[in-house]
Each structure stands twice: as C-alpha cells, then as structure tokens.
Structure 1
Amino acid sequence: MQLKIFTLAGAAVLALAACAAKEKPTQDDTAGAATGGVMRDEAKAEPETSPVTPMPAATVIQSQPGPDGSQVDLLSVKVTGDILTVTLRCSSPERYNRESIRVAQVSVIDDATSQRIGVLKDNEGNAMVSNLNRSSSPENDNMMVDCTSKPGVMWAKFPAPPATSPTVSISLPGVAPFDGIPVQR
C-alpha cells in the first residue's frame, strides 16, 4: 500500500515539474503548427480603447432664438436622393424646457422660386420628423423636443428643391427664420 502511495506521489511531482518547465519548440512542434497542430503563444495585452468613438462636435450653420428663451441651432441641410433633411439642435438655460412644434407649420422655402415645401409623409401618412406626437388630426401632429441644458436634436424631411435652387430658408413656429441657407448636395 505504501509503495502505491509513494508511486502516485512521485508521478504527481514529475507531472508538476514537467508543467513548470518551459520547453523550446522542436522541429516537430513547428511542423505541427503548419499542419494544423496546436501551438501556444503568450497572450499579449491589448491597448485599452474606448468601445465608442465620440462624434466630432457639430458645426453650427446658424443660430436663432427659440420659444421660452431657448436657442435653436441649424446643424445641417442636406439632400440625399430626392429628400432634403434638416437637422437642428435646441438648448435652453431652463432645467425643464420641452417644446412642442406643430408639424403643419414647419416648412422649407425654396429661395429661387419662393415655393413653400411641407414635411414629407410616409406610406401611413405619418410626418417624417423626429419624436412625432400623433393626434386625432394630422394638422395637429407635433414634433416634440427636449431643450434642457443637454441639447435636444430634432430633424425633419422634405421633398428636395430642384438642383437649380442653391439656398433655402427654414421656418419653424416660435423660432426666428433661418434665411438663405446653402443646400448641401
């Protein structure tokens, strides 16, 4: 019985010693790697990187005073295909300042033709704006925006003016007009 325990203990010591010793790869080991054998490499520490890349600060095209002491910044006026997208940002020194903008009163004016262009609607008749608050009548639908100390972003989509119209003016209720804005194409 003592011989079996001694033999088991000796085998365990030899196994631990073999694990602790570092072996250099032999020609057989490198050949095994080329044929799909298992090779062990030391793990290399990856440099710490942020999982989210912060967006660059938005360039403000123009700013206008808005309702209840807020400020509305025009961020982009861009045509993609046949759609013009207007992106704005609203901010306010007030801690709680939510604005409700009637969609039927939001428009883009083609400066070349003086034509008023209303907000696009999708196949279900919903206005294509951010944070749409539907009502019983489409004329009373609202675009909601949170203008607290952390700026709220809002957008609206319109049929694109013709390529011969280099600028547009943007009209939102309660906000001073954004006039003569170049259209990015």
Structure 2
Amino acid sequence: MDIRHLTFMAAAGIGLAGCNVSDAPPSDDAATTTTASDTGVTREPMAAPEPAPVARMPAQAAIQSQPGPDGAQVDLLKVAVTGDILTVTLRCSSDQKINSQSFNVEKISVIDDSTSQRLGVLKDDKADWMASNVSGNFLRTDCEVKPGIFWVKFPAPPVTSPTVSINLPEVGPFDGIPVTR
C-alpha cells in the first residue's frame, strides 16, 4: 500500500468515527421515537393510509328486455355503429344460481327495418365470428344472479336506416331499436 491509500483510509476512518451505526433493525413499536438528544433528529412513526373504498358502477339501464330460454332474461344494452360495424351489447340474467346459455351464432341476426334486409354476424379475416365467448358456432354466456354481458358485431345498416330489429334464438325479438351513430 502506498501513502495515498493510507492517508485516504485514515481520513475516511476519522470521518466515520463520529457516526453511530447500529446493526440492530429499527423498532416497529409505535411508542418509540428518536429524540433530538440521541441524534439531533426527531422521527415519528407514520400511519398507513386508509385504502379508498371501491365504488361499484350502477347497472346500465336496458333499452329493452325480452324473455330468454330456461327462465333467463336478456337485456339489450347498446346498439351503436362505429365506422362500418354495428355492435350489439346484451346482458343475460336469471334468478337461478346456475344458468348458462348458448346461442347458435349462425341464427343471430339484425334486420334493417327500412329495407327488411337480414344482416348476419360478421367474421374476421381468420373466419372467426366477431362476437364474445364464441366456441365453434356457439356464443356462450352465464345468465346467473350475476349477469353475463355479451356482444355481437354486424355490418352497419345504411345511414338512412334509423332502426333495426335484433333476433337471437329462443329469445323474444328486439323490434324497432334506434341505432346510435
């Protein structure tokens, strides 16, 4: 070791000699505080903040409701056009604790009320149905005490068509529904 290293180490030792370093972990005792006479610093324990309560969103009001299979109720929540696509959002509920429904996607349709043209569910570029929870040709949803939300996409009707009718197998028809654009 040369003289520079020894001088540095000696200076560092002198600088640290005034520090009181303890290997003991700080106490979690809320009554213990460090006073100014110990180190010149007073520290008070901080209380953990209370978590904010989670507010539930109110249930969305149905545009129209229809009876469904096995005592279920199907609520129409939204019918809106974005670009060239019409999205229909529905909610299925039941008083039964266990009640799930399957709808054949090939039989779900929208009728353009102005032209009486039937519009089927869209498929994407991979030939998959553009709908939620689809397995094979069936859209599946839980219609239990906690309602299940599902959606289906169709080609948009022309701007000159202000209303559509929506048909799901084994569910009453949703007729004359205004389209939001």
Using structure 1 for the length normalisation, give the TM-score: 0.72
1:74 aligns with 2:76: yes
CA-based RMSD: 2.7
Number of corresponding residues: 150
CA displacement, residues 115-162 of structure 1 (integer Å, 9 cap, x when unaligned):
00000001111111111011xxxxxx1000111111111110001111
SS in 1 for 2:70: helix
Point out the structure with the larger helix share.
Answer: 1
SS in 2 for 1:112: coil
* Partner Cα separation in structure 1 for residue 144 and residue 56 of structure 2: 21
Q: Which runs of 4+ in 1 moved over 2 A?
A: 14-23, 43-50, 52-57
Look up the match of 1:30.
Answer: none
The partner residue of 2:148 within 126, 146, 152 is 152
Look up the match of 1:21.
Answer: 40
What is the identity, as a one-letter code, of the residue corresponding to 1:97? Answer: N
Gaps of 5+ in 1: 1-10, 24-42, 135-140
Look up the match of 2:99.
Answer: 97
Q: What displacement does 1:22 show? A: 4.8
Gaps of 5+ in 2: 1-16, 22-35
What is the identity, as a one-letter code, of the residue corresponding to 2:134? Answer: L
Using structure 2 for the length normalisation, give the TM-score: 0.73
What is the identity, as a one-letter code, of the residue corresponding to 2:149? Answer: V
Look up the match of 1:117.
Answer: 119
